[in-house]
Structure 1
Amino acid sequence: MSAIVPITIYHTNDLHSDLTQWTSAVSYLKAQRRFHDKKKETSLFFDIGDHTDRSHVVTEATRGKGNVELLNEAEISHVTIGNNEGITFSRQELGNLYEKANFKVLLANLFDEQGKRPEWVLPYDVIETKEGIRLGLIGITIPFYPFYNELGWDIQDPLMLLPGILEEVKAQSDIIVLLSHMGLDYDEEIAESFPDIDVILGAHTHHLLKEAEIINQSLVAQCGKNAYYVGQVNLEFDTEKRELVSKKGYAVDVSHEPPSPETAGLLRRLETEAVAEMHEEIARIPSALPVSWTEPSPFADLLAEGLRDWCQTDLALINSGLLLESLAPGPVTKEDIHRLCPHPINPAVIEVSGAVLKESIHAAYTQKMIHLPLKGLGFRGIKLGVLAFSGITIEMGTAGEDALVKKIKIQGTDIENKKMYRVAAPDMFTFGPLYPGLSQTKQKKYFMPEMMRDVLQFILEKKYS
């Protein structure tokens, strides 16, 4: 006689260290675990990456290990990593991140420079329920090649690796589940190309699928970001026919769940320890350094100067929105630096023509760009802000609401359209639509894993310690 066995999967993704909301999500997860345990049903709990985000003081101070403690406390059994784990920590920090994890890290497409997978990852895992149902779990992440390569990793195209891995997993499994930090477009492509995958749990692009989609033979699920929703996948397996007979998925709103007292207590401890860790004084400034997002300001100019010095270029430009507050006189701590410049944005050097540089500077002085409420690209501020420069001087006029750039000088000499210039800039200028001329250049170098706040600390220490 056949028996239909239920299996329920709960999944989170892209928390981005919204740790207060995590306490509510975990409250729901714990309640669901108790519910299934009481019914003697199998329930599984996964995270699909970008749980960390170094814009939060706990993640910054602990280099992500606080996030691992929170995942342990939530009894997550398997995770894959996102770009916030993969490319905002040094290779050594990433290697140490999971040393106390009570869960398994699934990541099929990350290798070292010798072509070996790091010891802390598995390409896949096969688990078996008490009814003898075998689930094959595979993990993959988005391959941001230049960033991983700069850190000494060999990140590979997971779509090229999946055929071989699926062949191994299929021979050992009744159900195949992919933990994919690739984004919805890739997940849909994978579903079309690999019908043997029963369930794709997605992340990275922050899509909220309130009902999971069936694409080809695969159920594709993703539950937004910041753990305001938790994904739930309900599977039914026929043990006599040895086949999956039903699969449905939902995103459950957990934003109003009361926080888990245990999780909230752990978070308070982690925050207290993080603040103490970050209280180290790194400089003492004699007078205030004000910043403005709409006009030139000393603090933004100082950061541009620091970036030019750090990257050893003749020119540098930054957007003033990178600095969230002015800096008051007196002692400056690591916590201050993190609060003022929390973004996971790296320094970069690009080589562009004078014509491209001129076009980008002109575009930057429009009201649209200055007040752009930027989301993404690592930016954690409010608006893009006006540009600040080092090695570049601008003569301004006005044209209606917008400032008019009348003349641009490089090291005191008029800019030349055909001349190539090495320019230091935040990495967010080198990809995406902000400044197409800058992002389309092929000559790019990224400084990894240092971030813009490291540059800020560098120039403050140099000037004031």
Structure 2
Amino acid sequence: MTMIAGKTETIHIYHTNDIHSHFDNWPGISEFLLAQRMEHDQAGEACYVFDLGDFVDRSHPFTEATTGKGNIELLNRAKYDAVTIGNNEGITLSHEALEELYTDAQFRVVVSNLKNRDGRELEWAVPYTCFTSHTGVKLGVIGATAVYELFYSKLDWLIQEPRQLLADLASELKNTVDCVICLSHLGVNEDRLLATETSDIEVILGAHTHHLFVCGEMVEDTLLAATGKFGQYVGHVTLSLEDGQVVEKKAAVIPADDLKAGAQEVEGIQQMITEGTDQLDEEVFTAPLPLRQNLFGDSPLSDFFGRALLAYTKADCGLFNAGIFLGSLRQGIVTKRDLHRILPHPINACVVTVKGRALRDYYEISCHPDWPRTEVRGLGFRGTVMGAMIHVNLKMIDDVLYIDGKIVDPEAEYKLATLDMFTFGFFYPNMKFEKIDYLVPELIRDIVGWSGHENFGTTS
């Protein structure tokens, strides 16, 4: 390599993952990263800062209002060097919004397994990139994101299985760089498999499954590092090289609670977030009556959403949980901020084509008495408990299932409108095997807004 013979070089890598627009600790993280870069520069040591995806999450009103571009400005301010995308960047934004997300980015976006639908390489990202320190150490950086094929294809992207792509890239880069780092939004199991399948990657910085490695994890000769979720930690990987060879690598995490920002940094970021969020104060429709929620049964809000869901999807019946509503809508003007407040989830509606006998099974599962108070984690859900299951046009009378007053034929096909989180196999194990049509990029709050505007209009 081009490194000065006999010289020892230390490279510092700082990394974050799965922030999910949780900004409570961000001022401290941002100021810490800037200070560390300055300190390492003064010491003559190379320093790089990476994010592993899901930095953008539309559950935060700032992210929703700025379509994620406000998040990119936060990364710019903290002087990130490169990022990969997570599923929140990849499948909760429209095709056009993702193409435009990184327009003003002052860092490189690295993702190897996503392309345009026709196979063309992305204009806003690269499959790999390289950095060279002032002493000549060359760092190759590759990246990939989790595969959600049905969602990506509906959004007009081509997503590919990543591990072989990453192994091939690492093998190619190994001939021209001193070490290869992988920015992975694949999850811990995929990272471990990748580490066993190639010896060409020195470090895998991980994300997606919100795992935390306090001191890293060695798999074969590869160091895995990860910082959990929500900006609770910042990761720090230290590489020591001699004559172009990595001789030592260590991983550690710094608790973000220990990182205190100055008043100027806190005020500057808060002002950015406030100004961005104010864009949500746009009228969507005028509600003639209050639409109140009820976690444990039917409500005016669930009735309204149920009608909206069937009208939008043109399905025969519907099924969703009352816990998706995190508040009520008052009578009068309803704004984008109001809709986001009660439905912050990055959840899509979908239409599942099912036989009548399967529909009966799903109905019976939905009636389990433990469900209303079941706590839900992940799957895009941003509430706390499941709440009662709401049935739309679907009713059981004397052990006979009816759709809109007609007996369900066990062999006939029906279209069931529901939420994408129910199709992932956790609540209804067999539903993931049905024919599913995901409605993207619109989220469930967009369907409420559409229905309210169609039925009630606005005051303007």
TM-score (norm 1): 0.94
Map of 2:232 onto structure 1: 228
Map of 2:437 onto structure 1: 445
Report which stretch shifted further, 254-263 or 44-53: 254-263
Residue 144 of structure 1 deviates from its aligned partner by 0.9
In the TM superposition, 1:160-309 aligns within 5 A as 160-239=164-243, 242-309=244-311
Cα distance in 2, alignment partners of residues 351 and 200 from structure 1: 40
Counterpart code for 1:430: T
Counterpart code for 1:421: Y
What whole-Å deviation, never above 9, does each CA across 1:333-356 have from its counterpart, x for those lacking one? Answer: 010001110100011010112222
Cα distance in 1, alignment partners of residues 354 and 373 from structure 2: 25
Map of 2:330 onto structure 1: 328
Match of 2:405 among 406, 412, 432: 412
Asked whether the 8 Å contact 1:363–1:369 carries over to 2, the reply is no
Asked whether the 8 Å contact 1:126–1:172 carries over to 2, the reply is no
Residue 379 of structure 1 deviates from its aligned partner by 0.3
What whole-Å deviation, never above 9, does each CA across 1:14-36 have from its counterpart, x for those lacking one? Answer: 00000222222223222322321
Cα distance in 2, alignment partners of residues 129 and 353 from structure 1: 61
Asked whether the 8 Å contact 1:6–1:235 carries over to 2, the reply is yes
Asked whether the 8 Å contact 1:357–1:438 carries over to 2, the reply is no
Match of 2:384 among 360, 382, 385: 382
Map of 1:40 onto structure 2: 44
Counterpart code for 1:305: R
Counterpart code for 1:295: G
Asked whether the 8 Å contact 1:364–1:370 carries over to 2, the reply is no
Cα distance in 1, alignment partners of residues 73 and 268 from structure 2: 8
Q: Describe the SS at the equivalent of 2:53.
A: coil
Map of 2:31 onto structure 1: 27
Cα distance in 2, alignment partners of residues 361 and 389 from structure 1: 8
Cα distance in 1, alignment partners of residues 83 and 103 from structure 2: 14
Q: Describe the SS at the equivalent of 2:430.
A: helix
Residue 421 of structure 1 deviates from its aligned partner by 1.1
Cα distance in 2, alignment partners of residues 230 and 357 from structure 1: 46
Counterpart code for 2:436: K
Q: Describe the SS at the equivalent of 1:337.
A: helix
Q: Indicate how the Cα distance of structure 1 residues 269 and 6 shifts in structure 2: closer, same or farther if over 3 A, else same.
A: same
Map of 1:17 onto structure 2: 21
Report which stretch shifted further, 33-42 or 108-117: 33-42
Cα distance in 2, alignment partners of residues 266 and 311 from structure 1: 43
Residue 392 of structure 1 deviates from its aligned partner by 1.6
Asked whether the 8 Å contact 2:167–2:194 carries over to 1, the reply is no
Residue 394 of structure 1 deviates from its aligned partner by 4.3
Cα distance in 2, alignment partners of residues 49 and 408 from structure 1: 44
Asked whether the 8 Å contact 2:18–2:231 carries over to 1, the reply is yes
What whole-Å deviation, never above 9, does each CA across 1:45-66 have from its counterpart, x for those lacking one? Answer: 0001000000001110111000
Cα distance in 2, alignment partners of residues 181 and 263 from structure 1: 29
Map of 2:137 onto structure 1: 133
Map of 1:400 onto structure 2: none
What whole-Å deviation, never above 9, does each CA across 1:249-286 have from its counterpart, x for those lacking one? Answer: 11221123213545433432332223321111111112
Cα distance in 2, alignment partners of residues 407 and 24 from structure 1: 59
Map of 1:370 onto structure 2: 372
What whole-Å deviation, never above 9, does each CA across 1:335-392 have from its counterpart, x for those lacking one? Answer: 0001110100011010112222222222222232111110111000111111223222
Cα distance in 2, alignment partners of residues 31 and 274 from structure 1: 26
Map of 2:347 onto structure 1: 345
Asked whether the 8 Å contact 2:143–2:166 carries over to 1, the reply is no
Structure 1 runs not aligned, ≥5 long = 396-404
Q: Describe the SS at the equivalent of 1:203.
A: coil
Q: Describe the SS at the equivalent of 2:370.
A: helix
Residue 418 of structure 1 deviates from its aligned partner by 2.7
Counterpart code for 1:237: L
Q: Describe the SS at the equivalent of 1:20.
A: coil
Asked whether the 8 Å contact 1:87–1:147 carries over to 2, the reply is yes
Asked whether the 8 Å contact 1:303–1:318 carries over to 2, the reply is no
Cα distance in 2, alignment partners of residues 289 and 393 from structure 1: 23
Cα distance in 2, alignment partners of residues 98 and 262 from structure 1: 26
Counterpart code for 1:184: V
Map of 1:455 onto structure 2: 447
Map of 2:100 onto structure 1: 96
Counterpart code for 2:453: E
Asked whether the 8 Å contact 2:425–2:431 carries over to 1, the reply is no
Map of 1:402 onto structure 2: none
Map of 1:67 onto structure 2: 71
Counterpart code for 1:258: K
Asked whether the 8 Å contact 2:236–2:252 carries over to 1, the reply is yes
What whole-Å deviation, never above 9, does each CA across 1:135-168 have from its counterpart, x for those lacking one? Answer: 0000111111111000000111112322432233
Asked whether the 8 Å contact 2:142–2:166 carries over to 1, the reply is no
Cα distance in 2, alignment partners of residues 28 and 432 from structure 1: 41
Match of 1:430 among 413, 423, 430: 423
Cα distance in 1, alignment partners of residues 221 and 417 from structure 2: 47
Asked whether the 8 Å contact 1:283–1:464 carries over to 2, the reply is yes
Count of residue correspondences: 453
Report which stretch shifted further, 7-16 or 246-255: 246-255
Map of 1:401 onto structure 2: none
Residue 112 of structure 1 deviates from its aligned partner by 0.7
Counterpart code for 1:297: S
Asked whether the 8 Å contact 2:109–2:124 carries over to 1, the reply is yes
Cα distance in 1, alignment partners of residues 107 and 311 from structure 2: 42
Q: Describe the SS at the equivalent of 1:19.
A: coil
Asked whether the 8 Å contact 1:25–1:228 carries over to 2, the reply is no
Cα distance in 2, alignment partners of residues 135 and 171 from structure 1: 12
Cα distance in 2, alignment partners of residues 51 and 151 from structure 1: 20
Q: Does 1:159 align with 2:163?
A: yes
Cα distance in 2, alignment partners of residues 163 and 228 from structure 1: 30
What whole-Å deviation, never above 9, does each CA across 1:106-142 have from its counterpart, x for those lacking one? Answer: 0111111221111111111111111111100001111
Match of 2:123 among 119, 122, 125: 119
Q: Indicate how the Cα distance of structure 1 residues 260 and 121 shifts in structure 2: closer, same or farther if over 3 A, else same.
A: farther
Counterpart code for 1:172: T
Structure 2 runs not aligned, ≥5 long = none
